[in-house]
Amino acid sequence: MVKVVVGMSGGVDSSVAAALLKEDGYQVIGVTMQIWLPESRQFGGCCGLTAIEDARKVAYKLGIPHYVMNFREVFTDKVINYFVKEYRRGRTPNPCIRCNQHIKFGALLEKARGLGADFVATGHHARIEKGATEGRYLLKKGLDRNKDQSYFLYTLTQGQLSHSLMPIGNLTKEKVREIARDLKLPVAGKPQSQEICFIPDENYGAFLKDYLSDAEKPGPILDERGNIIGSHRGIIFHTIGQRKGLGIATGEPLYVIAIVPERNAIIVGPKEKALADELVASELNWIAFDKLTHPLTTHSKIRYRHPEAEAIITPLGEDSIHVKFAQPQMAITPGQAVIFYDGDTVVGGGTIGYTAKPGTTKMDNRKAVKSYG
């Protein structure tokens, strides 16, 4: 019997994933990862005490073993420290991508293989298929386009994909809930968590202040000409494209168009200045092929909820590419991920570094903003 470890978050998706695998004849072991439990405050999310209890109830209902495994140290090292470091640099990271890469399909998969399991499984809305001709494992969008999570999984390697299962990828969210109700699972009506699991109440500032002694370091808000038009309480509280919360009264809406950490400055401008049609990305991972060797037209996504846009991607070196969009995109944000699609197949992706405004040739935003005064 094929053994599979299911990462059970206490939610309906991972619970139904475990149920479907058991129904298909797998030897299922449920594991809830204890990755974040601050001593200073009660923690919820996908790995807190409530999640553990909900996962345990589901496992009991399904008649499968359930274990809680401590991944706090690796989570702190690979996710928390990365998150804090990126914000200090004036960038906006995506910790869910990092967690999938290093925790769920990294440390958990390694633990599962050590226990003799053939696979690790999750409740992600995405699909893994083996290509008919090239023999590569492919990552595809989930059937439910409103819940598709392939964006967060672009870092998966061929080795990780070959030992991973995503049983609900061919189901809509409503169908998942219907199965949970039919099986009388105790989490059938549990709402889906939207926030980052380790940020209580989505209060990024409060969280970062626990790690950065200079988090609330006031600095200038500058216009494009370098004039001081306001002040901010810390660059960690701002991101590219932000309009609200600037505390500036002007005749037109202003948006954050650049963050300059070495000057502790925020640069603002009108909406059109928040548009860019080029970027450079690095920390690349390719799924559909081994390496990008020539320009390729793709549909690219610069944020999870951002619509895909046609773009040409061109290799620049061993680990960087140039992305040229057919139309300018709003608030391309350094630190976020850009994912490339061919239809419903994930070609690959990388981390956004620098951008260029429409009609310019500059690819280094940091050089551009130094001229602001």
Instruction: Note the pLDDT of residue 42.
Output: 43
Three-state DSSP class for residue 121:
strand
Residue with tokens 């699909």: 127
- The mean per-residue pLDDT over the stretch 341-359 comes to 87
Is 60 exceeded by the pLDDT of residue 39?
Answer: no
**Angle in degrees, 0-180, between the axes of helices 173-182 and 12-23, rounded to the nearest 10:** 70
DSSP-assigned beta bridge partners for residue 129: 138
CA distance 317 to 320: 5
Instruction: Note the pLDDT of residue 248.
Output: 84
Is 50 exceeded by the pLDDT of residue 361?
Answer: no
Q: Are 310 and 342 in contact (CB under 8 A)?
A: no
Single-letter residue type at 23: E
Which residues lie below 8 Å from residue 260, measured CB to CB, with a gap of 6+? 90, 266, 267, 366, 369, 370, 372
Q: How confident is the model at residue 47 (pLDDT cuts 50, 70, 90)?
A: low
Which residues lie below 8 Å from residue 4, measured CB to CB, with a gap of 6+? 21, 26, 27, 28, 29, 112, 117, 118, 119, 120, 121, 165
Instruction: Note the pLDDT of residue 371.
Output: 42
Q: How confident is the model at residue 203 (pLDDT cuts 50, 70, 90)?
A: confident
Q: How far is CA 259 from the centre of its chain?
A: 21
DSSP-assigned beta bridge partners for residue 322: 280, 314
Residue 180 CB neighbours (<10 A): 22
Q: How confident is the model at residue 123 (pLDDT cuts 50, 70, 90)?
A: very high
- The mean per-residue pLDDT over the stretch 85-108 comes to 94
CA distance 163 to 158: 9
- The mean per-residue pLDDT over the stretch 9-26 comes to 96
- What percent of the chain is predicted at pLDDT more than 70? 90
DSSP strands (E only) in the chain: 3-7, 27-34, 66-70, 119-121, 126-130, 137-141, 164-165, 219-222, 228-232, 255-260, 265-269, 275-286, 296-301, 309-317, 320-330, 337-342, 345-356
- The mean per-residue pLDDT over the stretch 91-115 comes to 94
Q: How confident is the model at residue 370 (pLDDT cuts 50, 70, 90)?
A: very low
Single-letter residue type at 184: K
Q: Hey, what are 245's tokens?
A: 């919360």
Instruction: Please provide the DSSP assignment of 320-334 as one string.
Output: EEEEEEEEEEE---T
- Kindly tell me the burial class for residue 336, based on how many C-beta atoms sit within 10 Å of its own C-beta (0-12, 13-18, 19 or more): buried
Domains of the chain: 3-201 (3.40.50.620), 214-272 (2.30.30.280), 273-372 (2.40.30.10)
**Angle in degrees, 0-180, between the axes of helices 49-62 and 12-23, rounded to the nearest 10:** 20
- Kindly tell me the burial class for residue 218, based on how many C-beta atoms sit within 10 Å of its own C-beta (0-12, 13-18, 19 or more): exposed
Residues serving a catalytic function are 99, 197
Pairing of strands 137-141, 126-130: antiparallel
Is 90 exceeded by the pLDDT of residue 107?
Answer: yes
Q: How confident is the model at residue 358 (pLDDT cuts 50, 70, 90)?
A: low
pLDDT digits over 128-168, tens only?
999 776 789 999 999 999 999 999 999 999 999 999 999 99
